[in-house]
């Protein structure tokens, strides 16, 4: 198979971790007889530095022409980087939001898994973590508060800022269908998260999710208020299978869920449209403080490449080979600094990439 992949190395540790993911993908290609063509584009701060904007139309066109996009991370230190002196629509994050919209990537899949080998890093009490957990956060990614109209005005000398949260039923239905489809391949449970005791958008969300649920009689559906969900994630994470939620709640809850695993450097994500096309990126950020030091953990990006093979190319065997290489490297006792524990061997970003590639 010929895989045409657009890469976005991005900012901070992005270029290092993408390089290691390519190393692993190249090994997969050799082993399973595929050819991969990579085309790099600039986004975020890297694009601002060259073009003055976080995403160019040409970059969008390149991404659109690919089969899938593999991304590192974007953004810098918000208090010190000159990128954050620019107007909000010219900052690094605006590039990512614009790309999600341009590619219609409305479904964001963020797995949060407790790895047995890393259970010691889980910040929860052992009586909670010993139950293990493996959940998939399904976050709506192109609607809601992050894409509604916004403005800042001054009224009678008082500054006032307005953001709007809008969802129509079609936007809710398509993400709900994806959520139930994914649940069918997992433990067949959906927890739909909203704030239906306050927000109209949440009441519509709940109504549409209930309608979609009728087509999935095998799936158990429950509704949970977002504030309660934030508590339940630390109290009893094992109860969750698929968490289905809107954009901002998903942004916040997915960070919480990944922190609860204790190993955010291990968590991948996929953002999909209604075809096989997707953008794959680690769940963590650009970690500017450790950029360029060859100490970042590339595993989340490597696992994002695995999700890409599985969801965009239907190459399940190849994806399994990557997932197994990750397990094997952990079992063999290799760790980057962020997941280091006593008795293990600490390695840098590039060495971790070599060790993973060797195990394909």
Residues 48, 54, 60, CA angle at the centre, nearest 5°? Answer: 130
Shortest spacing between CB 286 and ligand IPM, in angstroms: 9
By the rule CB under 6 A, 102 interacts with ligand IPM: no
Local structure of 206: helix, strand or coil: helix
Nearer to ligand IPM, 15 or 75 (CB): 75
In angstroms, what CA-CA distances link 130 with 122, 234, 265, 285, 335?
Answer: 10, 13, 21, 28, 22
135 φ, ψ (degrees, to nearest 5): -120, 160
Tokens standing for residue 188: 């067949």
Considering only CA atoms, which of 280, 233, 21 is closest in space to residue 114? 233
Residues classed as catalytic: 146, 195, 227, 251, 255
Looking at residue 217, the DSSP 8-state letter turns out to be T
Size of the site for ligand IPM (CB under 6 A): 5
- Distance in Å, CB of 269 to ligand IPM, minimum: 8
Cβ 88 to Mg ion shortest distance, Å:
16
Q: x/- site string to ligand IPM, residues 242 to 281, per CB under 6 A?
A: ---------x------------------------------
CB of 37 closer than 8 Å to CB of 68: no
How many alpha carbons fall within 13 Å on the CB side of residue 46? 20
Instruction: Say whether residue 20 binds ligand IPM (CB under 6 A).
Output: no
Distance from chain centroid for Cα 195: 23
CB of 78 to Mg ion, least distance (A): 13
Q: CA-CA distance, 301 to 82, in Å (whole number)?
A: 27
Q: Which residue is nearest to Mg ion (CB)?
A: 251
Q: Which is nearer to ligand IPM, 78 or 197 (CB)?
A: 78
Judged by beta carbon, residue 251 or residue 338, the one nearer ligand IPM is: 251
Based on the shown chain and the rule CB under 6 A, indicate whether residue 93 belongs to the binding site for ligand IPM: yes
- Choice from 86, 90, 97, 199 touching ligand IPM (CB under 6 A): 97
For residue 355, how many other CB atoms are within 10 A of its CB? 18
Alpha-carbon distance of 203 to 194, in angstroms, equals: 8
> Torsions phi, psi of 273, nearest 5?
-105, -160
**Whole-angstrom distance, CA of residue 126 vs CA of residue 56:** 48
Interacting positions 64-83 with ligand IPM (CB under 6 A): 75
- Binding residues for ligand IPM restricted to 294-353, rule: CB under 6 A: none
CB of 234 to ligand IPM, least distance (A): 19
Using rule CB under 6 A, residue 140 touches ligand IPM: no
3 binds ligand IPM (CB under 6 A): no
Bridge partner residues of 193 (DSSP): 224, 245
From residue 202 to residue 241, the character string flagging contacts with ligand IPM as x (rule: CB under 6 A) and all else as - is ----------------------------------------
Pick the stretch among 20-28, 89-97, 165-173, 315-323 that binds ligand IPM (CB under 6 A). 89-97
From 63, 96, 122, 319, residue interacting with ligand IPM (rule: CB under 6 A)? 96
Tell me how far, at minimum, the Cβ of 279 lies from ligand IPM, in Å.
10
- Name every residue whose Cβ is closer than 8 Å to that of residue 35 and which is 6 or more positions away in sequence: 1, 2, 3, 29
Contact residues toward ligand IPM (CB under 6 A) are 75, 93, 96-97, 251
């Amino acid at each position: 198979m010929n895989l045409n992949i657009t890469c976005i190395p991005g900012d901070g540790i992005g270029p290092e971790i993408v390089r290691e993911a390519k190393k692993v993908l190249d090994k997969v290609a050799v082993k399973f007889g595929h050819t991969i063509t990579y085309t790099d584009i600039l986004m975020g701060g890297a694009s601002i530095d060259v073009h003055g904007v976080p995403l160019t139309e040409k970059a969008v066109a390149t991404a659109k022409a690919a089969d899938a996009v593999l991304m590192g991370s974007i953004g810098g230190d918000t208090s010190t980087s000159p990128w954050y002196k620019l107007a909000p629509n010219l900052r690094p994050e605006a590039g990512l939001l614009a790309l999600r919209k341009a590619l219609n990537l409305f479904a964001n899949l963020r797995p949060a898994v407790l790895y047995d080998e890393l259970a010691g890093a889980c910040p929860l009490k052992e009586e909670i973590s010993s139950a293990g957990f493996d959940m998939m956060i399904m976050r709506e990614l192109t609607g809601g508060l992050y894409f509604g109209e916004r403005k800042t005005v001054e009224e009678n000398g008082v500054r006032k800022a307005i953001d709007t949260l809008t969802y129509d039923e079609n936007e809710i239905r398509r993400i709900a269908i994806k959520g139930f489809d994914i649940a069918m391949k997992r433990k067949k449970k959906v927890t739909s998260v909203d704030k239906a005791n306050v927000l109209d958008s949440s009441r519509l969300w709940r109504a549409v999710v209930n309608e979609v649920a009728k087509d999935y009689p095998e799936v158990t559906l429950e509704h949970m208020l977002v504030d309660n969900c934030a508590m339940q994630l630390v109290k009893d994470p094992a109860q969750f299978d698929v968490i289905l939620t809107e954009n901002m709640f998903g942004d916040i809850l997915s960070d919480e869920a990944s922190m609860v695993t204790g190993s955010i450097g291990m968590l991948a994500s996929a953002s999909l449209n209604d075809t096989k096309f997707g953008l794959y990126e680690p769940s963590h950020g650009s970690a500017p403080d450790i950029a360029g030091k060859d100490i970042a953990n590339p595993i989340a990006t490597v696992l994002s490449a695995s999700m890409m093979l599985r969801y965009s190319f239907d190459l399940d065997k190849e994806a399994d080979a990557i997932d197994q290489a990750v397990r094997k490297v952990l079992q063999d006792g290799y760790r980057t600094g962020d997941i280091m524990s006593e008795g293990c061997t600490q390695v840098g970003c590039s060495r971790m990439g070599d060790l993973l590639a060797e195990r394909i």
